[in-house]
Amino acid sequence: MKGDITFFTVVEGLLVVGIVAYLVYLTVYARMIVQTIVEEENRERNALNFANALISHEKIVYEKEGVRYRGILNASKLDKLFHKSNDGLRNPEEFKNVILNPLHKSGKLSREQIDLGYSQTVNIIHIIDFDRCNERECVVWSGVILPVNTLNDYTQDHPVYKFFDCLTRSFDGNWLRPTATCAGFAATGGVIGSLGGPIGALIGAGAGCLFGFLSNLFSIAEVQVCMDRSGDIKNLYISETITKRQGLPVNIIYDDGTIHKGRVIVGFIAWL
């Protein structure tokens, strides 16, 4: 009878379903190509490359009988090149006046002082002597490598000068903000926790710091205002190498021959 479900009706139905499924497979999945694109984060990579180059630089490494010892830094050379803080920059005023203030020349480095650096980038360097870092003292050498040939080029007209000058003026010395916003700080404890101040906050900061260094010392609005005032600084990028506690373990050798362990931490601020 018409409308009866026979064996062949079922087979026909199954065939149709199978062919439709096969059609879908051919048109969609069989011709799907998965292309994997691996991209490196160039800007972070640049910071790490910079750190690796820095620990080999003749201006800071230990030399003996004409041999330069990579990763072994000469404390006397560091004294000459960088600003040395015996207090780990715990004092907010010191951090403000040394690192941020463009008028303070100690620790500010041009290409003349050290021929390393990327264009349109400011490198901030901290070298910490962990064997001389405790509750009483914390030896840190700090420097800011500027994208200028000589420090004479670092004038009030320079956009980086304007930017840092603006940040200096809006600085409130409140370490609680970066500390509070960096969730990892409390967890680090021990030596790192005892550092306090900006270094402690920077190093101690873990994944909780989304915007990294400056944006935790300053509000996003403050940074934006200073970018606008600088004129040429657009699309500011602050590397995460500081807040992610990147950088490299090194040795620091003193004139009396004692060798300490330390760490070079390099961060940078880049703009387009």
Task: Please say whether the dihedral angle defined by the alpha carbons of residues 106, 109, 112 and 114, taken in this order, is positive or negative.
Answer: positive
DSSP at 240: S
Asked if 67 interacts with another protein (CB under 8 A), we say no
202-241 footprint of another protein as x/- string (CB under 8 A): -x--xx--------------------------------x-
Structure tokens belonging to residue 15: 């065939």
188/30 Cα distance (integer angstroms)? 51
The binder of another protein chosen from 1, 5, 37, 176 (CB under 8 A): 37
Tokens 């330069």 sit on residue: 68
DSSP at 153: G
The binder of another protein chosen from 1, 2, 5, 28 (CB under 8 A): 28
Q: Which range touches another protein (CB under 8 A), out of 106-114, 118-126, 223-231, 260-268?
A: 260-268
- Count of alpha carbons within 13 angstroms of residue 37, beta-carbon side: 3
Minimum CB separation of residue 217 from another protein in Å reads 21
From the list 212, 123, 215, the residue with the least C-alpha distance to 160 is 123
The binder of another protein chosen from 1, 2, 3, 32 (CB under 8 A): 32
Minimum CB separation of residue 174 from another protein in Å reads 24
Asked if 13 interacts with another protein (CB under 8 A), we say no
Neighbours of 138 (CB within 10 A): 24
Neighbours of 207 (CB within 10 A): 11
**Closer CB to another protein, residue 151 or residue 191?**
191
Interface ranges with another protein (CB under 8 A): 6, 8, 11-12, 15-16, 19, 22-23, 26-28, 31-41, 44-45, 48, 51-52, 55, 71-72, 130-131, 184, 187-192, 203, 206-207, 240, 245-251, 259, 261-263
